[in-house]
Amino acid sequence: MKGKILRITRLGEPILRKALTPIRRPASAEIQRLIENMIVTMKKAKGVGIAANQVGVNQRIFIVAPEPSARYPHAPSMPPLAMINPKVLSRSKKMQTDWEGCLSIPGLRAKVPRHHALEIEFTTRDGQRRRARLSGFIARIFQHENDHINGRVYLDRVRDTRTFMTEQEYRKLVR
């Protein structure tokens, strides 16, 4: 895969707390380069998703790309999908609380409640508007990344701070 590894922004950098700007030309060469760079950066960091502001870019786009790893041993496999100008159309009443971490907040995990299922709409990298129903882990990734492009991080959603643990302790737990 072509693309270059970008610097991942860290908690405290203002762009992580900013609602990002809609993309007007999703199929442009600039956005295509950004997508490639985000995918390469996310894979190098062993993430399952990444939002544009995590690489310092003020654009409403993120990548969803789960695959099993040491960080997420039970993740499903899905090829990287760029979601441009995403919108949540509906959310299930059913909530699920599970572990989350973030490439911009290294070394930390906590339990975060999220909607179990969503109906969403987004633009693909070739400019097509799509609708989808997501559930489980993929819905969790979508909500995590969608929070990023709206200036939120998973720490904002933690209900019980006693669930915080280091990445090292978390890995012992999920072995």
Active-site residue list: 145
- Counting DSSP H helices and E strands in the chain, the numbers are 3, 8
Q: What is the dihedral of CA 132, 114, 70, 52, to 10 degrees?
A: 60
Single-letter amino acid, residue 143: Q
Kindly state the tokens that stand for 23. 């993309």
Q: How many residues in total does the chain contain?
A: 175
Alpha-carbon span 109 to 142, nearest angstrom = 18
Q: What are phi and psi of 51, to 5 degrees?
A: -110, 155
Kindly state the tokens that stand for 115. 């909607």
